Structure 1
Amino acid sequence: MPKTSAATPPLLRRVNASKLLGVLSTAGVMTGTGLIEATGLTRATVHAVCNDLIGMGWVLELDPVRDESAVGRPSRRFEFNSGAGFVLGIDVGAAKTTVVVANLRGETVAKAGRSFAAVKEPAERTDLVDEAVVDAMADAGVDDDQVIAAGVGVAAPVDRTGNILADDEFWRRFDPALTARLTKQHGWPALLENDANLAVLGEHWRGQGQGVDDLVVLLAGERFGSGLMDSGRLLHGSRGGAGEMVYLKLVEGVGDTHGIARIAREAAAEALGDPAVETVLRELSGADPVTAEQVFTAAAQGDRVAKEILEVVGQRTARVIATLGVLFNPALVVIGGAVAEASKPLLPSIEQLLATFTSTPPRVVTSSLGDTIVSVGAVRHALNYVEQNALDLTLTARRF
């Protein structure tokens, strides 16, 4: 019986096509010569595979640039067709949802959102997510058949197959049938992932974590949650629980999973409950409940009460980051979420304390992505799906 090669010509063509798409999707216009240098493939292979990708709609061939002093035929010029389809990045948070429509380079085309303030049942939350999806797509002028995939982030453990671990009351707020309902309604695959995992994908792609493969993103708003990347690879664990921080209930000086915003807000409310306490927080909050942002503002103005609150918050956050440093030994921890920008003043004390808690303290920074961190990661998650399955997808939104 004749031997069968493990790398058959069709398989080699797929591998080569993926390699070329990977280069073109992150570059501008490239010549055949440039692609040869970037991929190590032969000229014949580059041209043959590019012809395939042009026929499928993934690549555009541009008119050659003629150089009168050059000898021979001008080089062929190729460009990734970023308008060949679209992806969605959907952040389903505890308080609101944000939907981003992006082209295949990850550039935002439109954005929409909904508040969950009046939501009582998980299914109502899904209805609002769908409304935001419809609005964002309408603003972008994009139909369902032009969308290739959507990345969806929720604040619950999600395993490698996209299933929610609904063992906790907080996690049961999220509709386990969310992605199935979106797919049934719109026809495109909805790819569920944990919000902190998407945050680390977003930071690694477009944020402070670019070029850092041993990375942790600490979502630190209402609850602490972490996304973990080791050698450039997301860590899920057996049931999607890697990075979940319920263990903080056992950590001395922490005791629960409450994040920076919640701790700052509750400590400020307690201080304001005593009429004898003098603080500018009274003026900043007025008749409304005090916010974490107002605590940071008051501290910047030199308010003693606010500064004492943030000192406690900084010590507590340092302990949380130290546990991540001991367990996972990342090179960088990025504090993300709505409080990221406001948390910058905490960094010096956090870094000073870290050196006393662990012999391998990571560098700590705040995210530059703000409250888009999860939706940016959701776009990246959808693009990963596109790149991995490009040769099996049928494009309907070709823009030549």
Structure 2
Amino acid sequence: MPQVPLATPGLLRRVSAGAVLEFMRLSAAVTVTEVMEATGLTRATAIAVCEDLKDRRWIHELENQRAFGDYRKGRPARRFELNERAGIVLGLDVGYSKVTVVVADLRGDTVAKSSRPFEVADLTAAQRINFIDRLAMEALGEASARPEEVLAVCAGVAAPVDRHGDVLAAQKFWGLFDIDLRSSLKELRGWTVLLENDANLAALGDRWLGAAAGVDDVVVILASERLGSGVIDGGRLLHGSRGSAGELAFLDLVQGVGDTYGIAHLARTWAAEAMAGTATTSLNTHARHGAEAEHVFAAAAAGDAVAQDILERLADRMARVIGTVSTMYNPELVVIGGAVANSAGVLLGPIAERLPDFTATPPRIAVSPLGDAMVTVGAVRAALDYVEKNSLDLELAPLS
């Protein structure tokens, strides 16, 4: 039977501080009474936590005056506000060919962003780490921030990651992300680095700021080049014993699917096949450089029969994918995400019509408004969660 941590005064103090910081991240100026109502803390504890966080520079106490329209007698209520620039967090999306770094303040608002493809495809682990580090420093420079202000880093990678932050390198492609990023950036910059699967972070990000906000049972599918999913069940992100709970390799065995290629890849591939044939299609205007997914969606909207056929094939395939995933996890909502989400809304109706053929429990379907930022949004949220949970153990950088 697993050991349950004892509710020591130190642990209760850290939990209380984390709850107060989370509430303040979501709020403007708040009173102690509002802190009590939001966290369930007693007045004495709420005051003690606010005083502690103020002394540590996590929050400010605002000028003691009545808010406009408050004519109650007596001493005005004390008001506190998050010191959103007390530190910063980094959210990273480390793909096979490109890295994106987002610098965010303690409310989760983006301060700066840098994104760039790797200089060459075949890099050693040390070269990849050096590239990621340089890009992170570039983003910090754009944010006019110092490396010592970074309180936590979360990086999403296109491989399963277990609960301990270790990459499952059971396949060659997954092994490309097993580059010891956590200890390397700790050694280089002193940063605490959290590692997570990119689709899992996409699920966290969309549930925070996307179509799945407030939904406790949701599957988010990154659907652009390759299909990958993050699963949230009862409000909890599923990992599995080795981090591969949302892995979709089983689609190789699903009739009418057969692989994990995504919407953008297949739209491009099927368009190329059509343009190489004898069918008349407006997609031929893109023959020189190749038709991308957005070209196919636009041509279909304009009435191109070939493009409309491609969309029908995509809808049928995604209905089978979502139907299978829904049978396994029974989510309330499935969200299609990634860069292709900007165009994929047209598929929602045809997919929904087909879903009852592939599952007895069809979910609602949506596309994420976050586009290709889903992973970094989730990474920022994961880093903020770490900071809030460990706020009393973290040292803020000295004021410059």
TM-score by length of 2: 0.94
Where does the alignment leave 5 or more consecutive residues of structure 2 unmatched? 1-5
Once the two structures are superposed, the pairs formed by residues 194-273 of structure 1 within 5 Å of their partners are: 194-273=197-276
Provide the rounded CA distance (Å) in 2 between the counterparts of 1:347 and 1:366: 8
Matched, 1:84 2:86: yes
Whether contact under 8 Å (1:126, 1:175) holds in the other structure is no
Give the partner amino acid of 1:61. E
Q: Where does residue 308 of structure 1 map in the other structure?
A: 309
Whether contact under 8 Å (1:86, 1:147) holds in the other structure is yes
Matched, 1:49 2:49: yes
Larger displacement relative to structure 2 (193-202 or 31-40): 31-40
What's the offset of the Cα at 1:96?
1.4
What's the offset of the Cα at 1:356?
1.9
Q: Where does residue 30 of structure 1 map in the other structure?
A: 30
Once the two structures are superposed, the pairs formed by residues 1-400 of structure 1 within 5 Å of their partners are: 7-66=7-66, 69-116=71-118, 118-123=120-125, 124-274=127-277, 276-283=278-285, 285-396=286-397
What's the offset of the Cα at 1:121?
2.2
What's the offset of the Cα at 1:17?
2.4
Provide the rounded CA distance (Å) in 2 between the counterparts of 1:378 and 1:31: 30
Where does the alignment leave 5 or more consecutive residues of structure 1 unmatched? 1-5
Q: Where does residue 3 of structure 2 map in the other structure?
A: none
Provide the rounded CA distance (Å) in 2 between the counterparts of 1:337 and 1:297: 18
Whether contact under 8 Å (1:119, 1:125) holds in the other structure is no
Q: Give per-residue Cα distances to partners, 1:280-299, cap 9 Å, x unaligned.
A: 1111x141122222111211
Q: Give per-residue Cα distances to partners, 1:42-62, cap 9 Å, x unaligned.
A: 322222221111111111111
Give the partner amino acid of 1:262. H
Larger displacement relative to structure 2 (162-171 or 133-142): 162-171
Provide the rounded CA distance (Å) in 2 between the counterparts of 1:181 and 1:12: 33
Whether contact under 8 Å (2:19, 2:388) holds in the other structure is no
Whether contact under 8 Å (1:64, 1:76) holds in the other structure is yes
Provide the rounded CA distance (Å) in 1 between the counterparts of 2:233 and 2:180: 30
Provide the rounded CA distance (Å) in 1 between the counterparts of 2:367 and 2:201: 16
Runs (4+) of structure 1 moved beyond 4 Å? none
Larger displacement relative to structure 2 (375-384 or 180-189): 180-189
Give the partner amino acid of 1:347. L
Provide the rounded CA distance (Å) in 1 between the counterparts of 2:7 and 2:95: 44
Give the partner amino acid of 2:160. P
Partner secondary structure for residue 296 of structure 2: helix
Whether contact under 8 Å (1:83, 1:398) holds in the other structure is no
Larger displacement relative to structure 2 (11-20 or 386-395): 11-20
Identity of aligned residues (%): 53
Partner secondary structure for residue 340 of structure 1: helix
Whether contact under 8 Å (2:129, 2:179) holds in the other structure is no
Give the partner amino acid of 1:353. R
Q: Give per-residue Cα distances to partners, 1:307-352, cap 9 Å, x unaligned.
A: 1111111100110000110000000000000101111111111001
Whether contact under 8 Å (1:325, 1:362) holds in the other structure is yes
Partner secondary structure for residue 299 of structure 1: helix
Give the partner amino acid of 1:160. R
Give the partner amino acid of 1:157. P
Q: Give per-residue Cα distances to partners, 1:352-378, cap 9 Å, x unaligned.
A: 111221111010000100111101111
Give the partner amino acid of 1:127. N
What's the offset of the Cα at 1:388?
1.3
Give the partner amino acid of 1:363. R
What's the offset of the Cα at 1:21?
2.1
What's the offset of the Cα at 1:33?
2.2
Provide the rounded CA distance (Å) in 2 between the counterparts of 1:69 and 1:297: 59
Query: What CA RMSD, in Å, does the superposition of the two structures yield over aligned residues?
Result: 1.8
Provide the rounded CA distance (Å) in 1 between the counterparts of 2:59 and 2:399: 10
The count of residues paired between Structure 1 and Structure 2 equals 393
Give the partner amino acid of 1:16. S
TM-score by length of 1: 0.94
Provide the rounded CA distance (Å) in 2 between the counterparts of 1:347 and 1:122: 41
Whether contact under 8 Å (2:59, 2:80) holds in the other structure is yes
Residues 300 and 397 of structure 1: CA distance in aligned 2, closer, same or farther (over 3 Å): farther
